[in-house]
Structure 1
Amino acid sequence: MAQTTHTLPPSPFPSNAFYRLLNDPAAPLDPPLSVLTWQAEEVKRAGGILGLTLEPTGDVTLITDDLINTIVGKLKELNDGGVPVILRYGHEMNGDWTSYGLRPLQFVPMFRRMAEAVHKGTKTTAMMWAPNVGVHYPYTPLGKPGGTSPVTSVGADNFAALDTNADDVLDEKDDPYLPYWPGPEYVDWVGLSLYYYQDNPVNNVPGPTYFEDYLLGKDLVSKHGATVGNNEALRNFYTRFGDTFLKPVAIAESGPGYRPGAPGASELDVKQAWWTQTLNPATLASLPRLKLLVNFEEAKVEDGVAKDWSLTGNVGVREAYDAFLGTSGAQLVWGDRVRLACDGSLEVLP
């Protein structure tokens, strides 16, 4: 299932909404609840499923029951109105760019509280647990607590939980996912942020197995230069959390990062190479638990470098993408033929 934002048959995620959770039951979301209501109406009109990313801000231990009840009440309202929701709550918790990142002792109970309330209080809202791809985890190695080490900000207890091999360093030898796992009873979907980044000043196309390698933890050192020691198996997200726990798998954020104006491969070449491997029939057949791929339909500046992740912003790219989707047959299912159950399972209608 693919996210699109242009004129095609209804897609599973006509609106993949991103909100920040504020510690204020009277004004719990940024953007406000009124925007979420509008987006949900658009999803209902298209016959789709609302993908809702909710990022807590500030000290997550201060999240109140009243705040959670406000969110769950809104989700129930959306469900009652005919809009199923997949709630990606506290995403990318294994990175240091969120208030709860690298803090499993705060993240896990935070996620469990929301999951318990959602499962009790809604009809068709499913909980998604979605870290960042762990290939280059922990992104910035952290030494033993003390001195000027940046790990002092997460505290000794969190560091001990993250240091899964107990060698007093948080680095590529540690488990990028398990410290943050809340338990299968709290999770309906498992998801992953997995992009193709252009880290060089020249545009390159992703290698033909880049997507599978990153999702399954294969050939990372030889093909991608990733420093993962002997722990590639720890990066096999699909098997560890999809197969082991019998969960549907989503690529919750995805996209090929083209650098406008840079030399090298064309925008079409970069993006076509991405969708032909992420939506490859043989790949999808080999990964039957992979049920959802959400593309990041934006262009933005990161660290002073402009990158365009969209598949629909450029007319020529969009037309080529449309043509490709038209050849996908039964491999892709449009959202008006999909029903979501509260346990995260999907039913495809005739």
Structure 2
Amino acid sequence: GCYEDFVFQSCFLKRHSSPELREAYSRDEWTPWTSGVVERKGTSSSVGVNPATGSGTSPPAVQQGGGAASVYSNVPYVPPTADIRMQDGKPIGYPNPLEPPRGVYLGVSPQEVNGTADLQRYLTAFGGFVPVNYNIFVHIPILDYQLRYLDQFLAQVAGLGGVATVTVEPFDGLDLVTPSTIAPIVERCAFFERMRASCIIRFAHEMNGGWYPWSRQPTKYVEKFRLVSDAVRRGTKRGAVMWSPNSAARDYPFAAPSDLAGNPEFARLDTNRDGIVNNRDDPFGPYWPGDSYVDWVGLSVYHFGVEYPFGEDNEAAPRDSFLLRVAPRTLGEAAADIPFDFYETYAVGKSKPLGIGETGALFMPSKQRSGTPSELEVKRSWWQQFVNGGPGGTPLSTLLPQLKLITWFDIVKFESEVNSVVDWRISGSPQISVPFQKEMLTSPASRGFMLDLNAYHGLFPSSCIDLDTPVGLVSSDAANAAVTPYHSMPLSGGGASALPSSV
């Protein structure tokens, strides 16, 4: 980890820090914050320098006391002789940004409380199995308080060296998605990737449903998705874009066919041209923006219950219900009536990594009563499908090798569909989090399949990027801003944003 820390901190000190830190860098030596390696400018030595003695090698032990001047390491200084080779702004050798060559990232959507989310709690929530990915929801145009929340959120992800999924929601309509309204979000991703946070932009998710202002508008959706994708590519070095509809099996189009009769895009939605939109029509194809605009394909996949209408009782998930919604052809005759296989068409057919952008099993505390499944039984019935979910207990790692991310909706919220408060969390209590950790994350069946933050750092040991080439959307004000280095920011608790309002 020494080399990449050295590179991004050197760049920060030279170009993006406060005037005081830039002046400190101009002196003879400086101390990177993470590795403790000291560079003495003007020397050709390739070893560390002990600031106390001035000698060319550091003593055998790392010393932490006495302030920054006494922090040093026995790790030799590595000169920046080579950078990661880049092509079209992406690291060569990774077909899709941030895709692990093997395994599946664990992700969570944390609860927002008073404009902040505490990611530090996930350091211990699952027995030390720390998630890689953290999902945040923001509007576009982004609201002022959400700018502060996004700054604080990305600072925490940077502190962990993880990946943020920024779910961008056009609640004011697709017409307001413009280069100027996406710019503040992309600029923040560009800024914090200098400090080892990475961003996946998940734009206008679940567009094939009927519950959002951006739903069922395939022509305009495709236009705006391409706009956002172009902005991410111009404005970041390793940012990625996720296309993420809602899963659909036998329940598409999630409404009575008559509800779509007046839709001006009825002809595009009626993909088999039989004069009606029903579950024989393609729930995904009308919204596909094109292979070159998509890095990840994603799905929202929830267990709401066994049969619609949902919400009468808490119900355990039937076996294979996850595969039924994601990869029905793996089930053979049991799913022969489902004509559209998302995994086969988009993950395999388009050679894209699949991310489950949201998932969870519905549990309503107010409906808990004798004779119905407990909270653990409901949630366990869902997470076990990710480990031993295939026919005959085949692991998903074998059935779905393109599956690369599972993000759990770790939130309590009111759900209008069931007219009740739903506890989707897997970290809400030890009664749930401990079995989740043991069965989903560290069981023999999942070992090597589920990846935590340590595994992510091992797969991507160098997060260096060519920071001497400015990214397209970051303003000059951002590049010269006086900021608080991310390692000094609190991991929780909100507070003033470190970024200037101009970013």
Give the TM interval when normalised to the shorter protein.
0.7 to 0.9
Question: Does residue 306 of the first structure (1) align with residue 417 of the second (2)?
Answer: no
Q: Which stretch of structure 1 is more off in the superposition, 105-114 or 60-69?
A: 60-69
Instruction: Give the 5 Å matches for 1:186-225.
Output: 186-198=293-305, 199=310, 201-218=312-329
Q: Report SS of the residue matched to 2:289.
A: coil
> In the alignment, residue 115 of structure 1 is paired with which amino acid?
S
Return the alpha-carbon distance in structure 2 between the equivalents of residues 208 and 66 of structure 1. 46
From 362, 367, 372, give the equivalent of 1:257: 362
Which segment drifts farther, 163-172 or 70-79?
A: 70-79
Partner residue in 2 for 1:113: 227
What amino acid does structure 2 have at the position aligned with 1:331?
A: F
3-state secondary structure, aligned to 1:232 = coil
- In the alignment, the residues of structure 2 paired with residue 297 and residue 2 of structure 1 have an alpha-carbon distance, to the nearest angstrom, of 12
2:184 counterpart of 1:70: yes
Pair 1:122 & 2:236 matched:
yes
Deviation per CA, 1:169-188: give whole Å up to 9, x if none.
21111110000000110000
Answer yes or no: is 1:275 the counterpart of 2:383. yes
Matches within 5 A, 1:22-33: 22=141, 28-29=142-143, 31-33=145-147
Q: 2:140–2:177: 8 Å Cα contact kept in structure 1?
A: no
Report percent identity of matched pairs. Answer: 31
- 1:185 paired with 2:304, answer no
Larger RCO: Structure 1 or Structure 2 (Cα < 8 Å, ≥ 6 residues apart)? Answer: 2
Aligned match for 1:2, one of 82, 92, 106: 106
Cα distance in 2 between the residues matched to 1:99 and 1:204: 30
Greater CA drift, 72-81 or 288-297: 72-81
Q: How far did residue 121 of structure 1 move?
A: 1.9
Residue 280 of structure 2 contacts residue 339 of structure 2 at CA under 8 Å; is this kept in 1?
A: no
Query: 2:338 aligns to what?
Result: 232
In the other structure, the counterpart of 2:139 is 20
Give the TM-score, by structure 1 length: 0.85
Matched, 1:294 2:407: yes
Give 2:256's aligned amino acid. P
Counterpart position of 1:333: 451
RMSD of equivalent CA atoms: 2.5
Q: Which has the larger radius of gyration?
A: 2
Asked if the contact 2:386/2:395 (under 8 Å) is kept, the reply is no
- Tell me the distance in 2 between the aligned counterparts of 1:65 and 1:37: 20
Q: 8 Å contact 1:205–1:265 — kept in the other structure?
A: yes
Q: Amino acid of the residue matched to residue 337 of structure 1?
A: A
State how far apart, in whole Å, the 2-side matches of 1:222 and 1:269 are. Answer: 28
Letter of the structure 2 residue corresponding to residue 182 of structure 1:
P
Mark the CA change 1:132 to 1:31 in structure 2 (over 3 Å): closer, same or farther.
farther
2:255 is aligned with 1:140: yes
- Report the count of equivalent residues: 324
Q: TM-score, normalised by structure 2?
A: 0.60
Separation in 2, partners of 1:123, 1:170: 41
Give the 4+ runs in structure 1 shifted more than 6 A.
219-224
8 Å Cα contact 2:244-2:298 kept in structure 1? yes
Matched-pair contact (CA < 8 Å) for 1:20–1:31? no
- Match of 1:192, as an amino acid? L
The structural deviation recorded for 1:72 is 2.3
Deviation at 1:307, TM superposition (A): 2.1
DSSP 3-state at the match of 1:233: coil
Structure 1 spans left out of the alignment, 5+ residues:
23-27, 144-148, 225-229, 340-345
Q: 1:227 maps to what in 2?
A: none
Q: Residues 193-230 of structure 1: CA distance to partner in whole angstroms, max 9, x if unpaired?
A: 00111325232211221111211135999979xxxxx7
User: What SS is found at the alignment partner of 2:339?
Assistant: helix
Counterpart Cα distance in 2 of 1:259 and 1:286: 32
Q: In the alignment, residue 326 of structure 1 is paired with which amino acid?
A: T
- What is the distance in 2 between the residues matched to 1:123 and 1:231? 43
